[in-house]
Amino acid sequence: MGKVFVGRTTPLMRYNQDPMIILSGGTGTPKLLAGMRKIIPEEDMTVIVNTAEDTHVSGNLVCPDIDTILYLFADTIDAEKWWGIRDDTFATNEALRKAGRREVMRIGDIDRTTHIMRSELLRDGYTLTEAISELARRFGIGATILPMTDREVATHIATPDGEMHFQEYWITNAGEPDVLGIRIHGIKDAAPSDAVLAAFDNDDRVIIGPSNPITSIGPIIRLQGMRGILRKKHVVAISPIIGSAPVSGPAGKLMHACGYDVSSAGVIECYRDFLDTFVIDSDDLEISTSSGIGGVEIVRADTMMTSVEKSVALSQRVLDLF
Ligand code: GDP
């Protein structure tokens, strides 16, 4: 996609809204947040972020989805790739490679400082929630960014070559192996963090951004008690699928492997028991809006966020639904 400018290029228009909870992965929902932060105060946003793609790289804990959200709000995100820091260098990664040590992810030098600080905080006894809060404070971020849980969970992909961590599947193997199944290790014992539960005590409006329903939103809604919490909230979700394909990433292959139709209707199936309103793309011809599906209200909008202006417009449309 084209470059999206995420700095404050337009004045902050105050939208009269109560605080919002947004469930997020690391690409589609951050694009939405890039628009939303232009129209509601950052302080009114609580972003609950997937941690099941987290992994250790060269001794440091990397939290890909959380870091994208941190860098978005810190105005340092590389908004062409939607990971890492704009204009970062890769000297350490390259020096390691020359020394025969290939990292599973290509980590930038400045990006790595976040991983070093986080890992140090964790070694000092901070929970992940506390460590992210401290990083957000150091980066001058007003939004509340919450890891979904403080427990360790890890998404693995079963392939004909064996089971592998999501990052090994998606980055090392470029998402090429056939997907036989998805396993989220540790999810059965994982509860939402206390901070996540407290956020739901205060806020009744929940947005599920256009993120992968299997590997980004899937782990969040599979936390203990989470579906029950969401059933009591006003939940609006945006489809990451247009027609029969995702806008980007492996969502199609993963949905298919989990037995879901690769379509907006398939995404509704993932969220059916708690979803109130579903936003699908104006060009999505695969789904009828006339009667809603299973009690879920369907609305259409331009959901292709190829510029920050389009992210703002979609955010406005979504906020108007509450
Ligand atoms: P990940 O953690 O990097 O996998 O990122 P997410 O799960 O947050 O986002 C990936 C999903 O976002 C994919 O399924 C994409 O189809 C979807 N996506 C990315 N950009 C857009 C966009 O501009 N519009 C819509 N509707 N979906 C998008």
pLDDT digits (tens, 9 = 90+) for 282-307: 999 767 665 567 789 999 999 999 99
| 294 contacts: CB under 8 Å, gap ≥ 6 | 268, 272
Q: Determine the pLDDT at residue 10.
A: 45
- Average confidence (pLDDT) over 29-58: 97
User: Beta partners for 46?
Assistant: 21, 144
Q: Specify the DSSP element, H or E, that contains 60.
A: strand 60-62
Q: What are phi and psi of 218, to 5 degrees?
A: -50, -55
Match 């206390």 to its residue by tokens: 194
Q: Determine the pLDDT at residue 290.
A: 57
Residues 231 and 308: their CA atoms lie apart, in Å, by 31
Q: Determine the pLDDT at residue 3.
A: 38
Tokens for 43, please give them.
């302080």
Strand, helix or coil for residue 163 = strand
Contacts 24+ apart (CB under 8 A), 312-317: 312/10, 312/35, 312/38, 312/39, 313/35, 314/32, 314/35, 314/238, 314/279, 315/32, 315/35, 315/36, 315/38, 315/39, 316/15, 316/35, 316/39, 317/279
Residues 252 and 241: their CA atoms lie apart, in Å, by 8
Q: Model confidence over 99-112: pLDDT tens digits?
A: 999 999 999 999 99
Q: Can you tell me which atom of ligand 1 is nearest the CA of 306? A: 23
CA of 249 to the centre of ligand 1 (A): 7
Residue from 83, 247, 304 whose mutation best tests the ligand 1 pocket (most atoms within 8 A of CB): 247
- Inter-residue contact 247 to 219 (CB < 8 Å): no
Q: Determine the pLDDT at residue 5.
A: 40
CA of 207 to the centre of ligand 1 (A): 14
Quote the mean pLDDT of the chain.
93
Tokens for 238, please give them.
């945006």
Residues 245 and 182: their CA atoms lie apart, in Å, by 19
- Inter-residue contact 18 to 116 (CB < 8 Å): no
Q: What is the CA radius of gyration of the chain?
A: 19
Q: Specify the DSSP element, H or E, that contains 166.
A: helix 166-167
CA of 124 to the centre of ligand 1 (A): 34
Q: Can you tell me which atom of ligand 1 is nearest the CA of 170? A: 4
- pLDDT band for position 11 (50/70/90)? very low
Q: Model confidence over 236-253: pLDDT tens digits?
A: 999 999 999 999 999 999
- Inter-residue contact 71 to 108 (CB < 8 Å): no
CA of 196 to the centre of ligand 1 (A): 23
Q: Determine the pLDDT at residue 16.
A: 56
Q: Does the pLDDT at position 45 exceed 80?
A: yes
CA of 95 to the centre of ligand 1 (A): 32
- In 3D space, the residue among 322, 217, 192 whose CA is nearest the CA of residue 267 turns out to be 217
Checking DSSP bridges between strand 154-159 and strand 181-185, what pairing results, if any? Answer: antiparallel
3-state helix/strand/coil string of 205-220 = EEEECCCCCCCCHHHH
- pLDDT band for position 18 (50/70/90)? confident
In whole angstroms, how far apart are CA 1 and each of 4, 31, 305? 8, 11, 9
Tokens for 317, please give them.
């449309």
CA of 248 to the centre of ligand 1 (A): 6
Residues with a CB atom less than 6 Å from ligand 1: 25-29, 31, 65, 210-212, 216, 238-240, 246-249, 251, 303-305
Q: Model confidence over 179-221: pLDDT tens digits?
A: 999 999 999 999 999 999 999 998 999 999 999 999 999 999 9
CA nearest ligand 1 atom 20, residue: 28
188 DSSP assignment: G
Residues 41 and 16: their CA atoms lie apart, in Å, by 10
- Inter-residue contact 273 to 233 (CB < 8 Å): no
- In 3D space, the residue among 66, 73, 69, 68 whose CA is nearest the CA of residue 6 turns out to be 73
Q: Model confidence over 54-76: pLDDT tens digits?
A: 999 999 999 999 999 999 999 99
Q: Which amino acid is at 105?
A: M
Q: Can you tell me which atom of ligand 1 is nearest the CA of 213? A: 7
Residue-level length of the chain: 322
